[in-house]
A and B are shown apart, each in its own frame.
Chain A
């Protein structure tokens, strides 16, 4: 069921109409589309909601979603007014994804660009294999987050679980709270002015006003495992 509400807002009820129709409709939106406001009702934990978007539209999902919501997002702003299952915004290219509740495992996995904001907590492997995405988590993150993280920024206002940044490449991690442990080849690094500036911008873009860059510590790669060395075998 699709309803025209007001001039530009379109509402799509997943209790009435199939997922395939929703995604196909959203895929037809283009850069110049005037149907820029979308509301999705009754997501009921469904998977693959609003995936593969490629237009500067706003999508508000009223409820919690299952796996891979906003997967491979480009240009769109997707806001989940609930919690998100595994792999939210996986491989995101650009745009903005906001989760008002908590996020399950692999949030922002392999993301290449754009901003993912999780207003609650994120589970394990947040930012796994990230490749340029910026992720801001207001709460805590679980173990093995930023595993093999290649580039981009992960900002955590709360605490981080075990093995943060294991086998990390060039991603930059900022944590305000405690880090339970660091993974292989991940070390605390100096917070230089350029990092303070980048972090300040990230917090601003995420709409966070009650945290200052100076409260965070920076973590990144020691770059000791970048090339094979038998003496490093114990690190794994």
Chain B
């Protein structure tokens, strides 16, 4: 009788992991790339890799509940006759009616207005619901120009020329046939039910010199009243921001790869663009080199989840942030209470990202009238307002602890990094050292 040979434990491949294998099988079965919503899900250096240095002997803190800590911000001070005044520096990012239900757009407007901030249209035009419920509304000017018209341009409080977004810098929007309802089709001048693929670049300009003329045209149409933002996806932030400033932007929105989309190829979302953390310092550097930091305001988006993330973005030089995914979660997206329904869609709460299919049980990323009804815009708006207030309190808590009476006084000197990668990207010292990789050469104290 031969001795029993011990078997090795089955060893999964790190390269061919379960997800990768499932994707190969899916591709082989369907012949089409995977499309989903949301932003990059891979782990990238992020705000979690930074810590604040609270006050101590060398600095003194402010009383948490007694001493004032300002949060307001003014956007569009460079050229616009009517800059935007926000009570908090957390704005709602552009998301389209079409990608989102009318109730979800209304809820975003309600929540933002209660909290004293702005919301933004998307690739589909402005709906009466969101204009009616949004005290401050930013109107996106996109390559598709769906729903673009001079009347809404004049109704807007600011205009955002979208060059790109973090989830798909260099790519256009997608809205698949399941979500092209009669109303969406009418607003976009498209036949009902087609797979709509937006253009990736604007139809009537290319390059920074044209952009300058395009911005001039929009200013002339609106009599120089509205702030004009330029939104870019994070790719070459130093040069893109410098060129946007040169083109005449009042405000720049910079979206990292964790920023969400309604629908794009998975391969695009996960493999194109820079992490948000890697974008901010080059962008701020460009503004500083041009003498325009704080004169042209910088809004950072892509993976902002809580007050700590906001505080870190501000400390690195942003004037405000924008949230998209987090706002949807606050409304009720991916709620565990809906887990049984997510299971029917082959997923689970927290992972649902097939927003393009329009079957969202939360009634947010859908055009199905029955599903849309599930979202109460008043209640959902209240939830968003609560969340925005909590984030604001969290930023103030950190700012006071660091000794600042205005959250915009947070600075890189308040931060350290837990990893070499984060230290290099954020250009702050590795914790416990004075070493900033790429900036100074030694690891001394």
**Chain A residues at the B interface, C-beta cutoff of 8 Å:** 19-20, 23-24, 27, 47-48, 51-52, 54, 66-68, 71-72, 74, 86-87, 90-91, 93, 105-106, 109-110, 112, 125, 128-129, 131-132, 147-148, 150-151, 169-170, 226-228, 230
Q: Interface size of B by Cβ–Cβ distance < 8 Å?
A: 32
Contact B216 A87 (CB under 8 A): no
When the two chains form their complex, are residues A72 and B216 in contact, meaning their CB atoms are under 8 A apart? no
Whole-angstrom distance between the alpha carbons of A91 and B30 in the complex?
39
Pick the interface stretch among B65-73, B189-197, B330-338, B398-406: B189-197
Q: Which residues of A contact B213 (CB under 8 A)?
A: 47-48, 66-68
Known: A23-B223, A151-B189, A227-B195. A91 touches B149 (CB 8 A): yes
* Residues of chain B from 181 to 211 with CB closer than 8 A to chain A in the complex: 188-191, 193-195, 199, 203-205, 210
- Please pick, from A27, A150, A227, the residue contacting B177 in the complex, using a CB distance under 8 A: A227
B220 to chain A: which residues have CB within 8 Å?
Answer: 19-20, 23, 48, 51-52
Q: Given A19-B220, A27-B223, A72-B149, does the pair A87, B205 have CB atoms closer than 8 Å?
A: yes
Residues on A with beta carbons closer than 8 Å to the beta carbon of B216: 47-48
Interface residue ranges of B220-240 to A (CB < 8 Å): 220-224
Contact B214 A68 (CB under 8 A): yes
**Known contacts A48-B220, A106-B203, A230-B32; is-contact A129 B145 (Cβ 8 Å):** yes
| CB contact between B194 and one of A54, A151, A227 (< 8 Å): that residue | A227
CB of B326 within 8 A of chain A? no
Contact A51 B217 (CB under 8 A): yes
Q: List 24 A-B contacts (CB under 8 A).
A: A24-B223, A48-B220, A48-B221, A52-B220, A54-B150, A67-B214, A68-B214, A71-B221, A72-B150, A72-B221, A74-B150, A86-B204, A86-B205, A86-B210, A90-B203, A91-B145, A110-B145, A132-B189, A148-B203, A151-B189, A226-B195, A227-B194, A228-B176, A230-B32
Q: How many A-B residue pairs have CB under 8 A?
A: 103
Given contacts A72-B221, A91-B149, A93-B150, contact A128 B204 (CB under 8 A): yes
Inter-chain contact A109/B195, CB cutoff 8 Å: no
Smallest beta-carbon distance A152→chain B, Å: 9
Residues of A within 8 A of B148 (CB): 91, 110
Query: Does B217 contact A131, Cβ atoms closer than 8 Å?
Result: no
**Contact assessment for B221 and A87 in the assembled complex, using a CB-CB cutoff below 8 Å:** no
Q: Is B153 an interface residue (CB 8 A)?
A: yes
A52-B189 CB under 8 A given contacts A93-B149, A112-B149, A227-B194: no
B325 CB to nearest chain A CB (Å): 25
Q: Which residues from A are CB-within-8-Å of B203?
A: 90, 106, 109-110, 125, 128-129, 147-148
A106 touches B204 (CB 8 A): yes
CB distance from A28 to the nearest CB of B (A): 10
Question: Chain A: which residue is nearest B153 at the CB level?
Answer: A72
For the complex formed, measure the closest distance between the CB of B225 and the CB atoms of chain A, giving whole angstroms. 10
Within 8 A of A (CB), among B21-36: 30-32
Q: Tell me what chain B mostly uses at the interface: helix, strand, loop, or mixed.
A: loop
Q: Would you give the shortest CB distance from B218 to chain A, in whole angstroms?
A: 9
Find the residue from B176, B193, B203, B221 having the highest chain A CB count within 10 A. B203
A110 to B147 CA separation, bound complex (whole angstroms): 10
What separation, in Å, do the CA atoms of A37 and B101 have in the docked complex? 45
* Among A23, A51, A87, A227, contact of B204 (Cβ-Cβ < 8 Å): A87
Considering only CB atoms, which chain B residue lies closest to A87 in the complex?
A: B204
Q: Say yes or no for B127: interface residue by CB 8 A criterion.
A: no
Contact surface of B with A, Cβ cutoff 8 Å: 30-32, 144-145, 148-150, 153, 176-177, 188-191, 193-195, 199, 203-205, 210, 213-214, 216-217, 220-224
List the A side residues contacting B145 at CB < 8 Å: 91, 110, 129, 131
Q: What 6 additional pairs, Cβ within 8 angstroms, besides A52-B153, A67-B205?
A: A68-B204, A90-B203, A131-B189, A227-B193, A228-B176, A230-B32
Given contacts A47-B217, A86-B204, A93-B150, contact A228 B32 (CB under 8 A): yes
Q: What residues of chain B lie closer than 8 Å to A19, measured between beta carbons? A: 220
6 smallest CB-CB distances across A and B, nearest first, come from A52-B221, A87-B204, A230-B31, A106-B204, A226-B194, A72-B150
Question: Chain A contacts of B30 at CB under 8 A?
Answer: 230
A139–B381 alpha-carbon span in the complex (Å): 55
CA distance A228 to B196 in the complex (A): 10
**B residues in contact with A112, CB < 8 Å:** 149, 189
Complex CA distance for A90 and B153, rounded to whole angstroms: 14
Residues in A whose Cβ lies below 8 Å from that of B144: 129
A148 to B204, CA, bound (A): 13
In angstroms, Cα B210 to Cα A105, docked, is 12
In the bound complex, residues from chain B placing their C-beta under 8 Å from that of A20 are: 220, 223-224
Q: What is the CB-to-nearest-CB distance from B33 to chain A, in angstroms, rounded to a whole number?
A: 9
User: Please, how many angstroms separate the alpha-carbon atoms of A19 and B30 in the complex?
Assistant: 56
B12 to chain A, nearest CB (A): 30
- Bound Cα distance A208, B216 (Å): 35
C-alpha gap A157/B231 in the complex (Å): 40
Q: Which residue of B lies closest to A24 (CB)?
A: B223
Q: Which residues of A contact B210 (CB under 8 A)?
A: 67, 86
Residue of B nearest to A230 (CB): B31
Closest chain A residue, CB of each to CB of B215: A48
| Residues of chain A lying within 8 A (CB to CB) of residue B177 | 227
Contacts of B193 in A (CB 8 A): 227
Residues of chain B with a CB closer than 8 A to A52's CB: 150, 153, 220-222
Query: Which of B190, B204, B216 neighbours the largest number of chain A CB atoms within 10 Å of its CB?
Result: B204
Q: Considering the chains assembled together, what is the distance between the CA atoms of A23 and B223 in angstroms?
A: 8
CB distance A150 to B190 under 8 Å?
yes
Distance of A42 Cα from B217 Cα, bound (Å): 19
